Amino acid sequence: MSPSDESTDARFHVERTADTTEFVISRLFDAPREQVFRMWTEAEHLRNWFGPSGFKIPVSYLNLVPGGAFHYCMRTPGGSEMWGKWVFQEIETPQWIVLVNTFSNKHGNITRHPYVPDWPLEMLTTVTFTEQEDKTLVKIVWLPINPTAAEQRMFDTMHDEMAKGWNGTFDQLAAYLAALSN
């Protein structure tokens, strides 16, 4: 099954209505698909580029199997910590990853966004990796899972901020890939 199949969303109880909007962002990376896929699926690589600029990932655990998780701590430049978790739903190496993304505590329990209380508790995240000659197009699709009306409104109003965040994260991935090739 491909991640664009409607049945994928149904398995995760995501209802699309006329009011539902997805957040979609993509970037072309100057690296082969298999290498870019590894950057997303190996903890030692994720620690070196994932997250907002200036954040560090001092703690992470990754079990790359359906039902497995990437549980991580992001430390801000000021020393504050935020925890997050991905629970993998589908993995098709090196084509796509489907996961449920949440904020969490250090024990892996789902928590609210530490700064945005109306942020959706869970996000269905699909990351696809498409070969384009010797480069890789990474596309991310985010969709809240069963959001309240307030959560959906918050998600819809934050698209510009999400784009800024993902573009910064993509910049870090591009720099990390460039460093690996030197």
CATH of the domain at 78: 3.30.530.20
- Is the model's pTM score more than 0.85? yes
Q: For 59-94, write each residue's pLDDT tens digit.
A: 899 999 999 999 999 999 999 999 999 999 999 999
Give the model's pLDDT for residue 53: 85
> Does residue 157 sit within a domain?
yes
- Model confidence at 12, in pLDDT bands (50, 70, 90)? very low
pLDDT above 70 covers a percentage of the chain that reads: 89
> Does residue 5 sit within a domain?
no
> Does residue 72 sit within a domain?
yes
Q: Print the domain residue range for 72.
A: 22-181
Domain count, the chain: 1
Tokens of 5: 């199949």
Q: Which residues contact 164 (CB under 8 A, 6 or more apart)?
A: none
141 within 8 A of 14, measured Cβ to Cβ = no
Average pLDDT estimate for 115-143: 96
> Does residue 17 sit within a domain?
no
- Model confidence at 21, in pLDDT bands (50, 70, 90)? confident
Q: Which residues contact 10 (CB under 8 A, 6 or more apart)?
A: none
Q: For 137-177, write each residue's pLDDT tens digit.
A: 999 999 999 999 999 999 999 999 999 999 999 999 999 99
